A and B are shown apart, each in its own frame.
Chain A
Amino acid sequence: MVTKLMNWFDDRLPLTATIERHLTKYPAPINMNIWYLAGVLLVVVLVIQLASGIWLLMNYEPTAEGAFASIQYIMRDVQYGYIIRYMHTTGASAFFALIFLHMFRGMMYGSYQKPRELLWVLGWITYLLLCMLGFTGYVLPWGQMSFWAAQVIMSLFGSIPYIGEDLLTWIRGDYLISGITLNRLFAFHVVLLPLALIAVVFVHILALHEVGSNNPDGVDVKKFKDEDGVPLDTKPFFPYDITHDLYAIGVFLIFFVAIMFFYPDGGGYVIEYVNYEAADNLKTPEHIVPSWYYTPYYAMLRAITFPVLGLSAKFLGFVVMAAGIAIFVALPWLDRSPVKSIKYKGIYSKFFLTLFVISFFVLGYLGSVASTPLGTLLAQFFTVTYFSYFLLMPIYTKYETCKPVPDRIQLS
């Protein structure tokens, strides 16, 4: 019966072939480690966000007058509404935590190198979309921090020379942040951006299954195949990876649920305390901080304190901040190393990658606290080291001595 049904479908749609290609027979390298879990967990979080988002949408009111109260309505009067909302807020933080781990994995094992350049670029686009989703979603509760974060971020467009002010008015749809701005951000957050995200994630996975997964050794598993054409150092996704992933999803959900039910504020990181107050355009909060996942870039924005060649410090900060996010896309072409994995790369690569991680964390910290003269100095220093990882890469990867890469995966 099932076979008959499958045959009926297979005559009209490549169903079995698709399932085999993308799930059951997808060859995964045997030495994939814990870093490779972030990808599947990101898919889990994407599903969580879509599901909880739909339910939030059923009760949210996208107007300046009603938004804040409708969130409290969800939290108090909608049955289990607080679970739906906390799922969505915790999911947003989890999304970023995981995509940072996912990107770092790629940087560590050279997953962006040939033939995975396009895969990396597609992944970078999902990161961009996520940043926009995070920002637009953050404004929707219409609390004080929502309002002032929107004010600060949107005002950056106003710093662009000549066209800035007009552009800003056009983006806001008003002369100040208002209900009109809220409505358009709402439209982006619930329609345009999720649609784009799903589409790009889909293509990202298609591209992954075309070129195959990289692995911690960075060796090409397709070099040695058995008589059926299956790479030797791989295992089929089903059942080996799926059981592994299921176990990982369980562990992940334990942490996720622990935060969601017991620390939904996340100590002010998941939901900021200032957002307990409704938006008020006459009252500026004492210090405006973005969500934790933007703080490294916020620190870069604030690090630029001097105008250059008639360009304002604010505009230059904006450019540096945007460049900090954009520069990831250039990695495949900046890396001149003959080897992929950090395991076999030389000492300079290891040094600069470590420096990058330290810079990212220090900038993240600096972006979350009120600015001080020392803090600004540190932010400037670590902005330089952050970019040095990328900009010096063509030099240090070309001239360092790498260790020889084995032909096949070495299991220790």
Chain B
Amino acid sequence: MRNISLIIGIFAVSLIASNMSAAGGAACGNYLSEDGLTKGECDKAYVDATDKSSLQRGAQIYMNYCLGCHSLKYARYKKVSEDLEIPLDMFEDNLIFGDQKMGDLIQVGMDPKEAKEWFGNTPPDLTLEAGLRGPDWVYTYLKSFYIDESRPLGVNNKVYENVGMPHVLVDLQGTPQSVCRQVPFVADNGGIRQDPLTGERLTQEQCGFLEVEAGTGELNPEEFDEAMLDLTNFLAYMTDPMKTERESIGTYTLLYLFIFTMLSYLLYREFKKDLH
């Protein structure tokens, strides 16, 4: 038994270690945290594969804003409608454009060669994007567009500097600007520096914060973040559509194995008595 607990211990430690490495994910470029203290760290996207209404909202945004350029070419409409519990006819009427069929793979009509000319690069397929970059990256990236007149399309992105993609969601978000703010001066020991004479807190200017001009978008900042989380959730589902089914089968399999192992242990114990 002692040996087994040792193995379980090693296993637990290695799982934790592997989770830590997974949490690293892709770094978020020049993205500045709200307090201005960390740069390049992604915001956490709390994705939840069981939240069907979030997935439905995400699918709605995707089909309306993203599918013009980005295919989901390994997935089929029908499976999405089943998994997200969207009735077939409603899905067909509202989320499928052109003459595509329910059983088709989710393709785009755009010619990849032309797209390359327009954007400098063919817009990538996004079926597996959340697996490749991690949901945190996707979420932060979607929130990080800003106006930059030096770029051909007039926008840039904090997470993916000089990206070729336009700010497709500008109608929803409004016009985001990269601005400078006065932030507290943080000393090396973590404290906030104060003026030795007046005791006033010292501040310094830091640039790169994103601010949306009020009233320019359909959604307020909180609603927009919520919408981007839904979209991220949808992309995370896209990468791993079997997650809920897999985990439920996994639970039953484990239950079965626990019973099997317990019985085989009792059998082993019975025979072991002969030996001593």
A33 proximal to B (CB < 8 A): yes
Instruction: Note all chain B residues with C-beta closer than 8 A to A235.
Output: 275
A267 proximal to B (CB < 8 A): yes
Q: How far is the CB of B276 from chain A (nearest CB, A)?
A: 8
- Complex contact A273–B131 (CB within 8 A): yes
- Complex contact A254–B271 (CB within 8 A): no
- Complex contact B267–A72 (CB within 8 A): no
Which of A7-15, A53-61, A245-253 touches B? A245-253
Name A239's contact: one of B131, B249, B261, B271 (CB within 8 Å): B271
- Complex contact B79–A276 (CB within 8 A): no
B54 proximal to A (CB < 8 A): no
Nearest chain-A residue to B274 (Cβ)? A240
B127 proximal to A (CB < 8 A): yes
- Complex contact B268–A246 (CB within 8 A): yes
Beyond A247-B268, A260-B250, A261-B253, is A269–B132 a contact (Cβ under 8 Å)? no
Which of B14-22, B90-98, B176-184, B223-231 touches A? B14-22
Instruction: Note all chain A residues with C-beta closer than 8 A to B251.
Output: 261
Instruction: Note all chain B residues with C-beta closer than 8 A to A166.
Output: none
Instruction: Note all chain B residues with C-beta closer than 8 A to A276.
Output: 128-129, 131-132, 239
- Complex contact B250–A257 (CB within 8 A): yes
B241 proximal to A (CB < 8 A): yes
- Give the CA-CA distance A247 to B251 in the complex, in Å: 20
Q: Is the interface of B mostly helix, strand, loop or mixed?
A: helix
Q: Work out how many contacts link A and B, with CB atoms closer than 8 A.
A: 109
Interface string of B65-82 (1 = CB under 8 A from A): 000000001111001000
- Complex contact A267–B19 (CB within 8 A): yes
A82 proximal to B (CB < 8 A): yes
Name A254's contact: one of B3, B79, B257, B272 (CB within 8 Å): B257
Instruction: Note all chain B residues with C-beta closer than 8 A to A269.
Output: 18, 21
- Give the CA-CA distance A262 to B244 in the complex, in Å: 10
- Complex contact B128–A247 (CB within 8 A): no
Name B18's contact: one of A247, A258, A266, A277 (CB within 8 Å): A266
B188 proximal to A (CB < 8 A): no
Instruction: Note all chain A residues with C-beta closer than 8 A to B254.
Output: 254, 257-258, 261
B247 proximal to A (CB < 8 A): yes
Name B21's contact: one of A240, A250, A267 (CB within 8 Å): A267
- Complex contact B258–A254 (CB within 8 A): yes
Instruction: Note all chain A residues with C-beta closer than 8 A to B15.
Output: 263, 267
Nearest chain-B residue to A246 (Cβ)? B264
B4 proximal to A (CB < 8 A): yes
A254-286 residues with Cβ-Cβ distance < 8 A to B are 254-255, 257-258, 260-269, 273-274, 276-277
Q: Is the interface of A mostly helix, strand, loop or mixed?
A: helix
Q: How far is the CB of B249 from chain A (nearest CB, A)?
A: 7
A77 proximal to B (CB < 8 A): yes
- Complex contact B264–A77 (CB within 8 A): no
Instruction: Note all chain B residues with C-beta closer than 8 A to A403.
Output: none
B113 proximal to A (CB < 8 A): no
- Complex contact A73–B74 (CB within 8 A): yes
Nearest chain-A residue to B239 (Cβ)? A276
Using C-beta atoms within 8 Å of the partner chain, give the interface range for chain A. 35 or more
Instruction: Note all chain B residues with C-beta closer than 8 A to A262.
Output: 247, 250
Number of B interface residues in the complex (CB < 8 A): 46
- Give the CA-CA distance A269 to B18 in the complex, in Å: 8
- Complex contact B249–A83 (CB within 8 A): yes
Q: How far is the CB of B51 from chain A (nearest CB, A)?
A: 19
Name B11's contact: one of A77, A244, A255, A264 (CB within 8 Å): A255
- Complex contact A83–B18 (CB within 8 A): no
- Complex contact B75–A243 (CB within 8 A): no
- Give the CA-CA distance A312 to B199 in the complex, in Å: 64
- Complex contact A75–B242 (CB within 8 A): yes
Q: How far is the CB of A83 from chain B (nearest CB, A)?
A: 7
- Complex contact A82–B257 (CB within 8 A): no
A30 proximal to B (CB < 8 A): yes
- Complex contact B253–A247 (CB within 8 A): no
A163 proximal to B (CB < 8 A): no
- Complex contact B249–A243 (CB within 8 A): no
- Give the CA-CA distance A247 to B4 in the complex, in Å: 11
Q: How far is the CB of B259 from chain A (nearest CB, A)?
A: 9
A374 proximal to B (CB < 8 A): no
A34 proximal to B (CB < 8 A): yes
A57-92 residues with Cβ-Cβ distance < 8 A to B are 69, 72-73, 75-77, 82-83, 86
Q: List 13 A-B contacts (CB under 8 A).
A: A73-B74, A76-B76, A240-B272, A240-B274, A247-B261, A247-B265, A251-B7, A261-B249, A262-B247, A262-B250, A267-B21, A268-B21, A276-B129
**Given A72-B127, A250-B261, A277-B132, 10 other A-B residues pairs in contact with their CB atoms under 8 A:** A69-B73, A76-B76, A243-B264, A243-B267, A250-B260, A251-B4, A258-B250, A261-B254, A267-B18, A267-B20
Residue ranges of B at the interface with A (Cβ–Cβ < 8 Å): 3-4, 7, 11, 15, 17-22, 73-76, 79, 127-129, 131-134, 239, 241-242, 246-247, 249-251, 253-254, 257-258, 260-261, 264-265, 267-268, 270-272, 274-275
The 6 closest A-B pairs by CB, nearest first: A261-B250, A267-B18, A250-B261, A72-B74, A276-B132, A276-B131
